[in-house]
Amino acid sequence: MITSAAISRPALRHVGWRQGPAGAARAGVALAVLEERVKDISCVINLAAYCIDRFQDTRATRRICDKTSRPLPPPEKIRADTADDSPAVKITCHFLAELKNACAAKQARLLAAYVPGQAELAEDDVTSTSDLSEPEERACRQAFDGLTHGLGIDVVDLMSPMVAAKQSGRFPRMTFAHDFHWNSAGHTVAAEALAAEIARREEAATASASATTRK
């Protein structure tokens, strides 16, 4: 943002004082005029900067909306990236274990949710360098399943409810057409699936506790 802070009031007033009261008055008028000029220029420049930013955003959006292609990694690279000894899997394992322990310390049980990618949902009409191909997404799913099973962490897979919501015609898609994040439909289906799973587990725990008490 451009402001009018560069105008030196003391300097203009000093000139006016040296020229007497009349000079001081003229200096005050000149200062007011300069301030208005600078404000006008600042508004014009800020408006121009805003228009340029919006133009660049529009161009970026158009580039995102245009489907591009990314070379599919060879199978051996996909396997290496999702192997048990790969950095990504090791880091994920570490933080999952920490989350599980933190929950246990508060007498809670960690429930993880696996988020399907656009390729798995058949919504990969947007492709960028951060998107994964379907083989990569399947490999990530298998790696995550292996980690959570080994750590004893329960998982809610959101793939089935999201596919069911699309196949039933309830929602056309779970992600944005210009972005790989969930749209409102994706958030709705995910929230319903998680709430239903938590409610089911609470009912099972209550029933188990009642059965134990009766014994």
- Domain chopping of the chain, boundaries: 9-65, 75-214
pLDDT of residue 14: 46
**Does residue 24 carry a pLDDT above 60?**
no
Q: How far apart are CA 159 and CA 105, in angstroms?
A: 30
Dihedral over alpha carbons 52, 55, 59, 64 (to 10 degrees): 100
**Chain mean position to CA 197:** 25
Element (H, E) at 200: helix 184-214
pTM, whole model, 2 decimals? Answer: 0.63
Q: What is the 3-state secondary structure (H, E, C) of 47-105?
A: HHHHHHHHHHHHHHHHHHHCCCCCCCCCHHHHHHHCCCCCHHHHHHHHHHHHHHHHHHH
For residue 114, what are the β-bridge partners?
157
Does residue 178 sit in helix, strand or coil?
coil
pLDDT digits (tens, 9 = 90+) for 45-71: 666 666 666 666 555 544 544 554 567
Tokens (6 digits) for 143: 């790696």
pLDDT of residue 208: 78
CB 95 within 8 A of CB 88: no
Instruction: Please state the rounded mean pLDDT for residues 17-26.
Output: 54
pLDDT digits (tens, 9 = 90+) for 153-199: 999 999 999 999 999 999 999 998 877 889 999 999 999 999 999 99
